[in-house]
Amino acid sequence: MQKIIIDTNVFVSALIKKSYPFLIVDKLFLENKIQLCTSEELIKEYFEVLSRPKFSKFPDFENNAKMILLEIILKSELFHPKIKLEIIADKDDNMILELADESNADFIITGNTNDFTMKEFKNSKILTPKEYWENHKPISLL
């Protein structure tokens, strides 16, 4: 099973619009076709961002966010990164690379192409949701 790190912005997009992030969350994560890798720091960010009042303007965002957060707690594999990195200018995003190092994730999926300018980090390919869905999703879905 593919080990995947999903950046917070992908979960936000999945809850707003039915596009590639939605497909990844709905068809892969919620249906247990991938293994989501998380850390305490990333889960904390998921909760903080998905609870922001500014997203309440989107229909059912709040309820769907609560459901997704519960699924993340229940289904993700929790890792405890041992290293601290300072590679990405946005310091908060370094936790994704730290998690990739610890979990040996196959993929990091992010919509943040401004900060994640590299195509891979160690053994983890860094892809947009579209790139992942079109080229790397598990074959069992085809």
Its domain, for residue 79, covers 3-141
| pLDDT over 80 (residue 1) | yes
Residue 67: band (very low, low, confident or very high) from pLDDT cuts 50, 70, 90: very high
pLDDT of residue 142: 46
| pLDDT over 80 (residue 12) | yes
Report the run of H or E that residue 13 belongs to, with start and end.
Answer: helix 8-16
Please tell me the total count of domains within the chain: 1
pLDDT of residue 139: 77
- As a whole number of Å, the CA-based R_g of the chain is 14
| pLDDT, mean over the chain | 95
Give me the CATH number covering residue 121.
3.40.50.1010
pLDDT of residue 90: 82
| pLDDT over 70 (residue 11) | yes
Q: How far apart are CA 122 and CA 126, in angstroms?
A: 10
pLDDT of residue 141: 52
pLDDT of residue 140: 64
pLDDT of residue 60: 94
User: What is the pTM (predicted TM-score) of this model?
Assistant: 0.95
- Residue 130: Cβ-neighbour burial (10 angstroms; 0-12, 13-18, 19+): middle
